[in-house]
Structure 1
Amino acid sequence: MVIAAVLALPAAALAALLLARRRGRRGHPAPLRTAVADVVLVAGTAPWIWMILTPGTLQLVHLVPLVDLADQITLMTPGGAFVQIGGNLLVFAALGAMLPVRSARFASFGAVAAVAATGSLTVEVLQYVLRLGRVSSVDDVILNTAGAVLAALVTRRWWATR
Protein backbone atom coordinates (compact mmCIF):
# COMPACT_ATOMS: atom_id res chain seq x y z
CA MET A 1 0.00 0.00 0.00
CA VAL A 2 2.87 2.37 0.75
CA ILE A 3 4.39 1.76 -2.69
CA ALA A 4 1.05 2.41 -4.39
CA ALA A 5 0.62 5.61 -2.39
CA VAL A 6 4.06 6.88 -3.40
CA LEU A 7 3.41 6.04 -7.05
CA ALA A 8 0.09 7.91 -6.88
CA LEU A 9 1.66 11.14 -5.59
CA PRO A 10 2.25 12.74 -9.02
CA ALA A 11 -1.34 12.03 -10.07
CA ALA A 12 -2.63 13.41 -6.76
CA ALA A 13 -0.54 16.57 -7.14
CA LEU A 14 -1.81 17.06 -10.69
CA ALA A 15 -5.40 16.51 -9.56
CA ALA A 16 -4.99 19.11 -6.81
CA LEU A 17 -3.53 21.66 -9.22
CA LEU A 18 -6.25 21.12 -11.82
CA LEU A 19 -8.97 21.30 -9.18
CA ALA A 20 -7.48 24.48 -7.72
CA ARG A 21 -7.27 26.04 -11.17
CA ARG A 22 -10.89 25.20 -11.89
CA ARG A 23 -12.04 26.56 -8.54
CA GLY A 24 -9.94 29.70 -9.01
CA ARG A 25 -11.66 30.44 -12.32
CA ARG A 26 -15.00 30.15 -10.56
CA GLY A 27 -13.99 32.68 -7.90
CA HIS A 28 -13.54 30.29 -4.99
CA PRO A 29 -12.05 32.13 -1.98
CA ALA A 30 -9.33 29.52 -1.24
CA PRO A 31 -8.96 27.32 -4.31
CA LEU A 32 -5.54 25.80 -3.64
CA ARG A 33 -6.08 25.10 0.06
CA THR A 34 -9.41 23.37 -0.46
CA ALA A 35 -8.21 21.46 -3.54
CA VAL A 36 -5.18 20.10 -1.67
CA ALA A 37 -7.38 19.25 1.32
CA ASP A 38 -9.87 17.41 -0.90
CA VAL A 39 -7.20 15.39 -2.69
CA VAL A 40 -5.31 14.51 0.51
CA LEU A 41 -8.57 13.58 2.23
CA VAL A 42 -9.60 11.18 -0.55
CA ALA A 43 -6.16 9.84 -1.42
CA GLY A 44 -5.30 9.33 2.23
CA THR A 45 -8.53 7.59 3.19
CA ALA A 46 -9.67 5.59 0.15
CA PRO A 47 -6.79 3.05 0.12
CA TRP A 48 -7.42 2.20 3.76
CA ILE A 49 -11.14 1.70 3.12
CA TRP A 50 -10.35 -0.46 0.10
CA MET A 51 -8.00 -2.59 2.23
CA ILE A 52 -10.51 -2.91 5.07
CA LEU A 53 -13.28 -4.01 2.71
CA THR A 54 -11.26 -6.73 0.98
CA PRO A 55 -12.26 -10.27 1.94
CA GLY A 56 -10.44 -11.93 4.82
CA THR A 57 -10.62 -15.30 6.52
CA LEU A 58 -11.95 -14.58 10.01
CA GLN A 59 -15.53 -13.39 10.54
CA LEU A 60 -15.78 -12.15 14.13
CA VAL A 61 -17.64 -9.42 15.99
CA HIS A 62 -16.28 -7.71 19.12
CA LEU A 63 -18.86 -5.44 20.74
CA VAL A 64 -17.34 -4.95 24.22
CA PRO A 65 -15.09 -1.87 24.22
CA LEU A 66 -11.36 -2.32 24.83
CA VAL A 67 -11.44 -6.15 25.00
CA ASP A 68 -10.25 -6.61 21.41
CA LEU A 69 -7.61 -3.92 21.96
CA ALA A 70 -6.36 -5.62 25.14
CA ASP A 71 -6.17 -8.93 23.27
CA GLN A 72 -4.13 -7.31 20.52
CA ILE A 73 -1.68 -5.92 23.05
CA THR A 74 -1.36 -9.08 25.14
CA LEU A 75 -1.76 -11.89 22.61
CA MET A 76 -0.04 -10.53 19.49
CA THR A 77 3.64 -10.00 18.95
CA PRO A 78 4.68 -6.40 19.67
CA GLY A 79 5.17 -5.81 15.95
CA GLY A 80 1.76 -7.26 15.09
CA ALA A 81 0.05 -5.17 17.75
CA PHE A 82 1.87 -2.05 16.55
CA VAL A 83 0.77 -2.65 12.95
CA GLN A 84 -2.83 -3.41 13.95
CA ILE A 85 -3.23 -0.47 16.31
CA GLY A 86 -1.19 1.93 14.18
CA GLY A 87 -3.13 0.96 11.07
CA ASN A 88 -6.44 1.61 12.80
CA LEU A 89 -5.20 5.01 13.96
CA LEU A 90 -4.30 5.88 10.35
CA VAL A 91 -7.54 4.81 8.63
CA PHE A 92 -9.30 8.17 9.04
CA ALA A 93 -6.22 10.29 9.84
CA ALA A 94 -6.24 12.05 6.46
CA LEU A 95 -9.93 12.78 6.88
CA GLY A 96 -9.35 14.16 10.38
CA ALA A 97 -6.41 16.26 9.27
CA MET A 98 -8.03 17.78 6.19
CA LEU A 99 -11.76 18.01 6.95
CA PRO A 100 -11.44 21.09 9.19
CA VAL A 101 -8.94 22.62 6.73
CA ARG A 102 -11.48 22.03 3.96
CA SER A 103 -14.57 23.37 5.67
CA ALA A 104 -15.20 25.68 8.63
CA ARG A 105 -18.31 23.62 9.46
CA PHE A 106 -16.00 20.83 10.60
CA ALA A 107 -13.46 23.05 12.37
CA SER A 108 -13.83 21.42 15.78
CA PHE A 109 -12.60 18.21 17.32
CA GLY A 110 -16.18 17.17 18.05
CA ALA A 111 -17.20 17.52 14.42
CA VAL A 112 -14.15 15.56 13.25
CA ALA A 113 -14.86 12.85 15.82
CA ALA A 114 -18.51 12.62 14.75
CA VAL A 115 -17.67 12.26 11.05
CA ALA A 116 -14.86 9.77 11.71
CA ALA A 117 -16.96 7.68 14.10
CA THR A 118 -19.84 7.60 11.63
CA GLY A 119 -17.53 6.57 8.78
CA SER A 120 -15.79 3.96 10.90
CA LEU A 121 -19.05 2.50 12.18
CA THR A 122 -20.30 2.30 8.60
CA VAL A 123 -17.18 0.39 7.54
CA GLU A 124 -17.43 -2.03 10.48
CA VAL A 125 -21.12 -2.69 9.75
CA LEU A 126 -20.31 -3.25 6.06
CA GLN A 127 -17.61 -5.77 6.99
CA TYR A 128 -20.19 -7.73 8.95
CA VAL A 129 -23.20 -7.35 6.65
CA LEU A 130 -21.24 -8.18 3.51
CA ARG A 131 -19.72 -11.21 5.26
CA LEU A 132 -16.21 -10.25 4.22
CA GLY A 133 -14.49 -12.57 6.68
CA ARG A 134 -13.15 -9.62 8.69
CA VAL A 135 -13.20 -8.74 12.37
CA SER A 136 -15.82 -6.09 13.13
CA SER A 137 -14.87 -4.42 16.40
CA VAL A 138 -16.04 -1.46 18.45
CA ASP A 139 -12.35 -0.96 19.28
CA ASP A 140 -11.67 -0.31 15.60
CA VAL A 141 -14.26 2.48 15.69
CA ILE A 142 -12.59 3.93 18.81
CA LEU A 143 -9.10 3.78 17.27
CA ASN A 144 -10.22 5.11 13.87
CA THR A 145 -11.94 8.05 15.59
CA ALA A 146 -8.96 8.70 17.87
CA GLY A 147 -6.65 8.73 14.85
CA ALA A 148 -8.83 11.29 13.08
CA VAL A 149 -8.96 13.55 16.14
CA LEU A 150 -5.18 13.27 16.69
CA ALA A 151 -4.61 14.18 13.04
CA ALA A 152 -6.95 17.17 13.42
CA LEU A 153 -4.85 18.23 16.39
CA VAL A 154 -1.73 18.12 14.21
CA THR A 155 -3.30 20.42 11.59
CA ARG A 156 -5.08 22.66 14.09
CA ARG A 157 -2.91 25.70 13.36
CA TRP A 158 -4.13 25.61 9.73
CA TRP A 159 -7.80 25.80 10.59
CA ALA A 160 -8.31 27.08 14.15
CA THR A 161 -7.91 30.76 13.30
CA ARG A 162 -10.64 30.78 10.66
Structure 2
Amino acid sequence: MSQEIRVLQCIQCKMYQVDIVKKANKWQCKICRQKQNMLKEFFRGSGPECRVKVQQLNLERGVQEEKLEEDLFLTAQEQLDQKENSLEKQKSTPQRKTNKWADYVDEPIEIPQKTAVVPPKIDEKQEELPMNFNRSRNKVSRSNKRLAESPQTVNKKSCSKWNDFL
Protein backbone atom coordinates (compact mmCIF):
# COMPACT_ATOMS: atom_id res chain seq x y z
CA MET A 1 0.00 0.00 0.00
CA SER A 2 1.50 3.36 -1.05
CA GLN A 3 1.23 6.49 1.06
CA GLU A 4 -1.19 9.18 0.14
CA ILE A 5 0.33 12.58 -0.33
CA ARG A 6 -1.43 15.93 -0.63
CA VAL A 7 -0.48 19.28 -2.19
CA LEU A 8 -0.80 22.34 0.08
CA GLN A 9 0.06 26.04 -0.17
CA CYS A 10 1.90 27.89 2.58
CA ILE A 11 0.17 30.95 4.01
CA GLN A 12 3.39 32.93 4.51
CA CYS A 13 5.62 32.19 1.49
CA LYS A 14 2.81 31.14 -0.92
CA MET A 15 4.79 28.15 -2.19
CA TYR A 16 3.03 24.91 -3.07
CA GLN A 17 4.49 21.77 -1.51
CA VAL A 18 3.74 18.15 -0.73
CA ASP A 19 2.78 16.77 2.67
CA ILE A 20 1.98 13.26 3.84
CA VAL A 21 -1.68 12.72 4.69
CA LYS A 22 -2.10 12.25 8.44
CA LYS A 23 -4.88 12.46 11.00
CA ALA A 24 -3.91 15.91 12.28
CA ASN A 25 -4.72 18.87 10.05
CA LYS A 26 -1.54 20.73 11.08
CA TRP A 27 1.58 20.88 8.95
CA GLN A 28 4.86 22.80 8.76
CA CYS A 29 6.16 24.59 5.66
CA LYS A 30 9.48 23.12 4.56
CA ILE A 31 10.72 26.46 3.22
CA CYS A 32 9.84 29.06 5.86
CA ARG A 33 9.20 26.66 8.80
CA GLN A 34 5.76 28.21 9.44
CA LYS A 35 3.47 25.88 11.43
CA GLN A 36 -0.10 26.17 10.18
CA ASN A 37 -3.45 24.49 9.82
CA MET A 38 -4.46 22.92 6.54
CA LEU A 39 -6.83 25.36 4.88
CA LYS A 40 -7.14 23.91 1.39
CA GLU A 41 -5.92 20.72 -0.21
CA PHE A 42 -5.13 21.31 -3.88
CA PHE A 43 -4.42 17.73 -4.95
CA ARG A 44 -4.13 14.24 -3.46
CA GLY A 45 -2.35 11.30 -5.00
CA SER A 46 0.90 9.35 -5.16
CA GLY A 47 4.36 10.87 -4.73
CA PRO A 48 5.29 11.35 -8.41
CA GLU A 49 1.85 12.72 -9.29
CA CYS A 50 1.96 15.26 -6.45
CA ARG A 51 5.50 16.29 -7.37
CA VAL A 52 4.47 17.08 -10.96
CA LYS A 53 1.42 19.00 -9.72
CA VAL A 54 3.55 21.07 -7.27
CA GLN A 55 6.02 21.97 -10.02
CA GLN A 56 3.17 23.01 -12.31
CA LEU A 57 1.42 25.12 -9.64
CA ASN A 58 4.66 26.84 -8.56
CA LEU A 59 5.53 27.60 -12.20
CA GLU A 60 2.10 29.16 -12.79
CA ARG A 61 2.39 31.22 -9.61
CA GLY A 62 5.89 32.43 -10.62
CA VAL A 63 4.68 33.46 -14.08
CA GLN A 64 1.76 35.37 -12.57
CA GLU A 65 4.05 37.20 -10.12
CA GLU A 66 6.48 38.15 -12.90
CA LYS A 67 3.62 39.46 -15.04
CA LEU A 68 2.26 41.47 -12.11
CA GLU A 69 5.69 42.97 -11.35
CA GLU A 70 6.21 43.84 -15.02
CA ASP A 71 2.78 45.52 -15.20
CA LEU A 72 3.52 47.51 -12.03
CA PHE A 73 6.89 48.57 -13.43
CA LEU A 74 5.37 49.69 -16.73
CA THR A 75 2.61 51.71 -15.05
CA ALA A 76 5.12 53.35 -12.70
CA GLN A 77 7.37 54.21 -15.64
CA GLU A 78 4.43 55.70 -17.57
CA GLN A 79 3.50 57.84 -14.57
CA LEU A 80 7.10 59.01 -14.24
CA ASP A 81 7.23 59.91 -17.94
CA GLN A 82 4.00 61.87 -17.61
CA LYS A 83 5.37 63.80 -14.63
CA GLU A 84 8.61 64.57 -16.49
CA ASN A 85 6.67 65.81 -19.53
CA SER A 86 4.51 68.08 -17.37
CA LEU A 87 7.59 69.46 -15.61
CA GLU A 88 9.32 70.13 -18.93
CA LYS A 89 6.31 72.11 -20.13
CA GLN A 90 6.30 74.19 -16.93
CA LYS A 91 10.02 74.91 -17.10
CA SER A 92 10.79 76.85 -20.23
CA THR A 93 14.22 77.92 -19.03
CA PRO A 94 16.53 75.49 -17.27
CA GLN A 95 17.49 76.55 -13.76
CA ARG A 96 21.02 76.33 -12.48
CA LYS A 97 21.50 73.32 -10.24
CA THR A 98 23.18 74.09 -6.95
CA ASN A 99 25.22 71.77 -4.87
CA LYS A 100 23.24 70.44 -1.92
CA TRP A 101 26.26 70.89 0.35
CA ALA A 102 26.63 74.57 -0.50
CA ASP A 103 24.21 75.48 2.29
CA TYR A 104 26.42 73.88 4.90
CA VAL A 105 29.82 75.13 3.77
CA ASP A 106 31.13 78.61 4.56
CA GLU A 107 32.21 80.93 1.81
CA PRO A 108 35.97 80.71 1.12
CA ILE A 109 37.91 83.44 2.89
CA GLU A 110 40.19 85.48 0.70
CA ILE A 111 43.59 86.12 2.26
CA PRO A 112 45.33 89.27 1.05
CA GLN A 113 48.70 88.40 -0.39
CA LYS A 114 51.75 90.18 0.97
CA THR A 115 54.30 91.36 -1.50
CA ALA A 116 57.48 90.68 0.42
CA VAL A 117 58.21 89.69 3.95
CA VAL A 118 61.28 91.31 5.49
CA PRO A 119 62.71 89.44 8.46
CA PRO A 120 63.24 91.65 11.49
CA LYS A 121 66.80 92.61 12.32
CA ILE A 122 68.30 91.00 15.39
CA ASP A 123 70.19 93.26 17.76
CA GLU A 124 73.49 91.85 18.85
CA LYS A 125 72.95 93.30 22.30
CA GLN A 126 69.88 91.17 23.02
CA GLU A 127 70.24 88.76 25.85
CA GLU A 128 70.98 85.25 24.85
CA LEU A 129 68.79 82.52 26.20
CA PRO A 130 70.59 80.04 28.45
CA MET A 131 71.13 76.75 26.67
CA ASN A 132 71.84 74.22 29.34
CA PHE A 133 71.20 70.82 27.76
CA ASN A 134 72.37 68.76 30.72
CA ARG A 135 69.49 69.69 32.99
CA SER A 136 66.02 68.32 32.49
CA ARG A 137 63.07 70.69 32.90
CA ASN A 138 60.60 68.01 33.86
CA LYS A 139 61.58 66.27 37.02
CA VAL A 140 59.10 63.39 37.00
CA SER A 141 59.76 60.22 38.89
CA ARG A 142 60.32 57.12 36.78
CA SER A 143 57.17 55.47 38.10
CA ASN A 144 55.02 58.21 36.54
CA LYS A 145 56.73 58.06 33.17
CA ARG A 146 55.28 56.07 30.32
CA LEU A 147 56.52 52.51 30.19
CA ALA A 148 58.11 51.01 27.12
CA GLU A 149 55.84 49.16 24.75
CA SER A 150 55.22 45.56 25.56
CA PRO A 151 56.54 42.93 23.11
CA GLN A 152 52.94 42.04 22.14
CA THR A 153 52.18 45.51 20.83
CA VAL A 154 55.54 45.65 19.06
CA ASN A 155 54.71 42.38 17.27
CA LYS A 156 51.31 43.70 16.25
CA LYS A 157 52.89 46.75 14.67
CA SER A 158 55.57 44.78 12.87
CA CYS A 159 53.09 42.62 10.97
CA SER A 160 51.25 45.56 9.44
CA LYS A 161 51.38 45.84 5.69
CA TRP A 162 52.04 49.59 6.01
CA ASN A 163 55.39 49.19 7.77
CA ASP A 164 57.13 48.99 4.40
CA PHE A 165 55.91 52.49 3.59
CA LEU A 166 56.76 54.16 6.91
**Common fold: TM-score over 0.5:** no
| TM-score normalised to structure 2 length | 0.22
* Higher normalized strand content (fraction of residues): 2
Q: Which has the higher helix share?
A: 1
Structure with bigger gyration radius: 2
Q: TM-score, normalised by structure 1?
A: 0.23
